A = this chain, B = another copy of it.
Amino acid sequence: MEEQAEMVGRAFVDHYYHLFDSNRASLSALYQPTSMLTFEGQKILGADDISSKLNNLPFEQCKHIISTIDSQPSSPTGGIVVFVSGSLQLPGEEHMLRFSQMFHLIPGAEGTFFVQNDIFRLNYG
């Protein structure tokens, strides 16, 4: 179960940040009406509002560089927690922004997973 969690976590992270950097609007498909995002302390509920938040961030292009991915099974029913650290490159910015983010993935239809919990923080200091 642990190995499967690692595989799913890595595949999810690749997919998520690829979509984020190439077609951010399509991220909404990974969330559900019950999904929760806390973005730098701001709480947002549901796929529609989460999608709106992500699509209205004050930059159009960006590139995520992933440093670490740690995944664990969260429950006997197939949930997975994924913890990511990495850097965010914004256009025209010399320095990259370090961030940490966690996802709680829940099994959906036909072997897919959706994001139940998403917490994002920039690393300062």
Q: How far is the CB of A123 from chain B (nearest CB, A)?
A: 5
B100 A125 Cβ-Cβ under 8 A: no
Task: Count copies of this chain in the complex.
Answer: 2
B98 A123 Cβ-Cβ under 8 A: yes
Give A110-125 interface residues, CB cut-off 8 Å to B.
116-117, 119, 121, 123-125
Q: Which residue of B lies closest to A6 (CB)?
A: B43
CA distance A13 to B75 in the complex (A): 21
CA distance A119 to B81 in the complex (A): 9
Q: How far is the CB of A28 from chain B (nearest CB, A)?
A: 19
Q: A116 — which chain B residues lie within 8 A by C-beta?
A: 74-75
The residues of A with any CB-CB pair to B shorter than 8 Å are: 2, 36, 38, 41, 43, 67-68, 70, 72-75, 79, 81, 83, 85, 87, 98, 100, 102, 104, 116-117, 119, 121, 123-125
Q: Which 10 A-B pairs have the closest CB atoms?
A: A100-B100, A83-B119, A38-B70, A123-B123, A102-B102, A36-B72, A70-B119, A72-B117, A81-B117, A83-B102
10 CB contacts below 8 A, A to B, read A2-B36, A38-B70, A70-B121, A74-B74, A81-B104, A83-B100, A83-B102, A87-B125, A100-B123, A104-B104
